[in-house]
Each structure stands twice: as structure tokens, then as C-alpha cells.
Amino acid sequence: MSLIKGATRWVLFLAARGEPETRHILDLAYGLYCLEAAGIPQANIAIYIDGNDRQLTSQLLGSGTSNTYVIKSTNDFFSDQQQNSHENLVMFVTGHGSIDGIDALNPIRPYPLLKSVKDSPNLVQAVLYLGQCHAGIFNYIGAGRSNVDTKKPDPNVIIIGATSLHESLSASTNEQLGSNPVSWMANVFLLHLFKWISAPVDVDGDGRTTVIDSFKYAGAMANGVNKNVKMHTFHQSFDLRMKCASAEQNHKTQQTLASEIALKAAHAQYFNAMNVGHIHQESWILNAIPAQSIEF
Amino acid sequence: MKFNDILSSDLPEIDESVKQCVNFGRWLLFRSSSIDKKSVHAHLYLKTDEQILELDPLGRILKEIPREEVTVHIDEICYFSDMPRPQSLSNTRIAV
């Protein structure tokens, strides 16, 4: 049974130590739009996002859907997994990450996340897509099934990361979410992953659309986009540097809230150009063999 | 929540770099009827990475609204129709 037609729990996950960033919520809004477009029923989609401003989060998340979803905090994910009744779990993680793990009030480290998934009752297999910076710290852990010969084997877990021990890249995009044209700084890997789910492509030509195809598509597309963005921003960066210097000078003279905000805007654009030019991103997959046979 | 295009000349007091941040999805420019308007001039709101700012009808920044004091309900998100917008990355074809 494929993931879409089978008993699968689809999880959109955004942890944050404070308020989540708008761009990360919009990553998941696009994801939700694509999951619904793929025919995944609302009842099988669960959303976990931290932060106090639930109204704003709910509005942004609803940019591409007419359905209403309950948005829980990420702590609830771990307790909900203890009550799991689905055979499959597919989880999408956006937000910040570091050497400490997924950013949260208590950062989420690789083994506690893996243990939560492994200990989920009734679960047979899980696919975790990690979009955050330094996702590679979730690589090289015991994700595969370890007790195959017992009556109750543990779930087979596949982990896919947008990037290894580096930061991950975001870039401005304009996507049509239903009838709404929405612009945000999208996580490039997750964007293409969600796009693939809404319109799967058989990359390896085996006649099936599997988890490994999603990895190859999102990874190759993200690498291509990142190269294009690097080339484009290299040319822009000289002009952005000049604007930044001009805004700095202006703020020194004026010292107003308006000049401060103008400086922040110029700064943000220039440093984004510098970041894009100096960050390497390379996607990876752990437990690739079962990924070749799990179909969407 | 609606999405609306406006002209950059409608808000002449907003700096060009700020307008670019809005159009490229880094910051949000929006109308809201739910934020308590202590200022009668409040017309629009700008959400940056960490701040929410109140703007008058010309785009002049009036003040910062303390983040913990507001629950934001957006009526309308605004972009500038006469300034560049990003292209769709999901429809990008990779050049070789």
C-alpha cells in the first residue's frame, strides 16, 4: 500500500524557542497546500508549530487551504506519538537548527527524536524530511530496523536531510497557493520536496514514484536553484553593499526609527547575498535501501 | 485574509530597501482592523524579523508596537505592483 493511500500520518513540524518566523510558517503553508493537492485527507495531516501568536500562525498557514486545522505545539508531537495508530509516519521539519539540534525552548536532538519515532506503537515505517540548518547531525544514527527476527520489529526509519553539517539555504520565491500569490524566503529543499509530492516524478525510471525519487528530485532541484541564486546575488551584492553603506551613513546622521528600519532592510539584503554566496548545501539520505521500495 | 497589490507611490515615505524586503517576502506589509489603534493615523503595519511597526497613510513609521502586547489578525497582505517580485522557484528549470 502506498503512503498516500495507506494508513499514514503526515506531520508538518516547526519548533521555535520564541515566535516562529513567518517564512517558516509559509514553508509549511505551501507544504499543506501540496499535501492536499496530492489527495491526502485532512484527517491524516497533523500540524505542530510553537509560538504564542496562534491567530497569526493559523492565518498564514491557511494561505492555501479552505480547511481549518488544529495547530498543536511541538511538545504535543511526542505525546501524540505514544498514542500512534498509523502504520506510516511522514514528517516534514522546517525552522532553525544548529549543533544543538532542532531549535526549540529545549532543542530537539537526534536520539530523542529517533527514540520517539521508534517507540511509537503500531508504526511500521517512518520517513523524516529535515529542512533545518545542520540537519546532518541527524545522520549516522541507528535509523534502520534493528530487531528484524523478533515478533515485534521496530519501525524502519528513513531520514533525509536538506543539508549536512552546514546551514541550509532559503531563497525568495513567489508561489500560487490556490488563488493567492504568496512571496516568502522559502527553504529551497522543502519547496521542491512538496512540489514533488503534489506532482511526483519517477526520477530513477523503475516505474514507481518512491521515497528515493523524492530525495533525488528535491536534492537536484535545490542544488540547481542554489547555483542560480548564487550567480544572481553575486552580481547584486556590489549594489547591495553600496546601499548598505549609504543606509549606515544616513542612520548615523538621522538616528530615527525610520532610518534604523531602512538600515535593517539594507543590511538584511546584503548579508543574505553574502550568506548565499558562502554556504554550501548538500542533501543526504540515511537508510536508503527501503527508501527505494516505499511508494507514494 | 486577502492579498492586494498597491503602487509604491501610494506610500512614498517607505524606504526603497524596505519595499524590496516586502516584495521579496522577507517582511510583511499588512492591514489589520484588530490591532488596537491608539493612534488615529495608523493605516498599515510592517512586520520585520523581530518588530511590528505602525505606519501612517503615506508609509511614515509612527511607532513600534510591543510584540507581546498584540495578537495579530491580518485583513490584507500588500505587495508593490510596480516593483520586482521573485519568480516561482518551484517552476524553475535547471540549466545545464
Lowest-confidence pick of A40-44, A82-86, B62-66: B62-66
Residue A212 binned pLDDT confidence (cut-offs 50, 70, 90): very high
Query: Do A101 and A108 meet the contact criterion of CB atoms below 8 Å apart?
Result: yes
- If asked whether residues A239 and A165 sit together in one domain, one would say no
Query: Do A93 and A58 meet the contact criterion of CB atoms below 8 Å apart?
Result: no
**A6-42 confidence digits (pLDDT tens):** 999 999 999 999 999 999 999 999 999 999 999 999 9
- If asked whether residues A219 and A246 sit together in one domain, one would say no
Domain span holding position A211: 8-223+280-291
Residue A166 covered by a domain: yes
Tell which of B5, B17, B69 to mutate to test the A interface (max A CBs under 10 Å): B17
Number of domains into which chain A is organized: 2
Residue B89 covered by a domain: no
Residue B52's pLDDT is: 92
Query: Do A262 and B68 meet the contact criterion of CB atoms below 8 Å apart?
Result: no
**B5-32 confidence digits (pLDDT tens):** 999 999 999 999 999 999 999 999 999 8
Residue B37 covered by a domain: yes
Query: Do A203 and A217 meet the contact criterion of CB atoms below 8 Å apart?
Result: yes
pLDDT at A246 over 80: yes
- If asked whether residues A239 and A124 sit together in one domain, one would say no
Instruction: Return the amino acid letter for A72.
Output: K
Residue B90 covered by a domain: no
- If asked whether residues A78 and A152 sit together in one domain, one would say yes
Residue A68's pLDDT is: 95
Residue A81 covered by a domain: yes
ipTM of the complex: 0.92
Question: Which of B9, B12, B89, B13 minimizes the C-alpha distance to A194?
Answer: B89
Interface of B with A in 18-77 (CB under 8 A): 18, 20-21, 23-28, 46-49, 51, 53, 60-61, 63-64, 67-68, 71-74, 77
Q: How many Å separate Cα B21 from the centre of its chain?
A: 9
Answer yes or no: do B94 and A225 touch at CB < 8 A.
yes
Average pLDDT of the residues in A75-80: 98
Residue B54 covered by a domain: yes
B83 in A contact zone (CB under 8 Å): no
Average pLDDT of the residues in A63-92: 97
- If asked whether residues A133 and A213 sit together in one domain, one would say yes
Pick from B3, B15, B47: CB nearest A22: B47
- If asked whether residues A23 and A59 sit together in one domain, one would say yes
Number of domains into which chain B is organized: 1
Residue B72 binned pLDDT confidence (cut-offs 50, 70, 90): confident
Domain span holding position B6: 2-80
> Which are the contacts of A241, defined by CB distance < 8 A and separation ≥ 6?
A270
- If asked whether residues A108 and A81 sit together in one domain, one would say yes
- If asked whether residues A197 and A259 sit together in one domain, one would say no
- If asked whether residues A262 and A147 sit together in one domain, one would say no
- If asked whether residues A208 and A270 sit together in one domain, one would say no
Residue A82 covered by a domain: yes
Count, residues in chain A: 296
Question: Which residues on chain B are in Cβ contact (under 8 Å) with A221?
Answer: 92, 94
- If asked whether residues A196 and A241 sit together in one domain, one would say no
pLDDT at A154 over 70: yes
**A47-58 confidence digits (pLDDT tens):** 999 999 899 999
Residue A200 binned pLDDT confidence (cut-offs 50, 70, 90): very high
pLDDT at B36 over 80: no
- If asked whether residues A153 and A245 sit together in one domain, one would say no
B89 in A contact zone (CB under 8 Å): yes
The alpha-carbon gap from A158 to the nearest alpha carbon of chain B, in Å, equals 24
Residue B95 covered by a domain: no
Average pLDDT of the residues in B21-48: 84
